[in-house]
Amino acid sequence: MIQKIALCAALTAMPFILFAETEKKTDKKKLYSGKKIQALLITGGCCHNYPFQATALTSGIEEQVNVEFTVVNEGGKGTRAQISLYDDPKWADPYDVIIHNECFADTVNPEYIRKITKAHESGKPALVIHCAMHTYRSAKIDDWRRFLGVTSKRHEHKARYPVIPFAKNHPIMNGFPEKWITPKDELYVIEKLWPNSKPLAFSVSERTGKKHAVIWTNEFGKARVFGTTYGHSDETFKDQVFIDLLARGLVWAVGKL
């Protein structure tokens, strides 16, 4: 299913007073107001409320960034999907940035996975969120993990995890709290940071006391990649700190921050 997100069209159907009030509440300088960014959000699969997350992500970022989203939600709720989007060798061409927020852990076809990573390695920027890190985790090849910048194959329990900035001067972390405590979310165990990955913030395991990167950047071929392992719960996508982080990550990925 492919749909265009048209927030402005929905707002025009509201009474003028409500629209004016909404404008007043959100009347702040945009993070990016240049030429409209074309963004593709790929979502779907196991274990998460992806329709809600798609709406929260797109509407929240649109308040801060001049961006138009196309949303692809395919593959059902299982873990083995191969979505039809990637059958087109030029699937990524219409977009300035791709957001991966899907969960297909048991898809293992190397040719299929490389249809995706090839587009990014050639220079298509990306955001990778939460279960994108466990997508294709059963695959024997490392192409997807090199693209992500991290290797993770399991997570710990849900909790309210403190997030501690590691690289405070990075533009993505501009305005991020000294210590943000997540809504209840999952801590992903990071087994490996790949050589071109740079951690920006970490959380500490309540079980082992080990630090795990939870926000980072990666350079994959010619592409910038921004990643976070948080984003399991609806409450996380309702949190303004999280949405602001994704907005800055998107603008950074396309080289506008």
Residue 97 pLDDT > 60, yes or no? yes
DSSP letters, 6-30, are -HHHHHHTS-HHHHHHHHHHT-S--
Backbone angles phi, psi at 185, to 5 degrees: -145, 175
Question: Token digits for 185?
Answer: 């979310």
Residue 31 pLDDT > 90, yes or no? yes
The three-class DSSP label of residue 105 is coil
Question: In whole angstroms, how large is the CA radius of gyration of the chain?
Answer: 18
Q: What does the alpha-carbon distance between residue 226 and residue 20 come to, in Å, rounded to a whole number?
A: 34
Residue 27 pLDDT > 90, yes or no? no
Domains belonging to the chain, first-starting first, are 2-253 (3.40.50.880)
Predicted structure pTM score: 0.89
Note the pLDDT of residue 221: 98
| Residue of higher predicted confidence among 180 and 4 | 180
Evaluated on CA atoms 166, 170, 173, 178, the torsion sign reads positive
Over residues 210-233, the pLDDT tens digits come to 999 999 999 999 999 999 999 999
Q: What does the alpha-carbon distance between residue 123 and residue 223 come to, in Å, rounded to a whole number?
A: 4
Over residues 127-159, the pLDDT tens digits come to 999 999 999 999 999 999 999 999 999 999 999
Query: For tokens 């997508």, what's the residue?
Result: 135
Backbone angles phi, psi at 75, to 5 degrees: 95, 0
Q: Residue 31 class from Cβ within 10 Å (0-12 exposed, 13-18 middle, 19+ buried)? A: buried
Q: What does the alpha-carbon distance between residue 168 and residue 243 come to, in Å, rounded to a whole number?
A: 18
Note the pLDDT of residue 2: 54
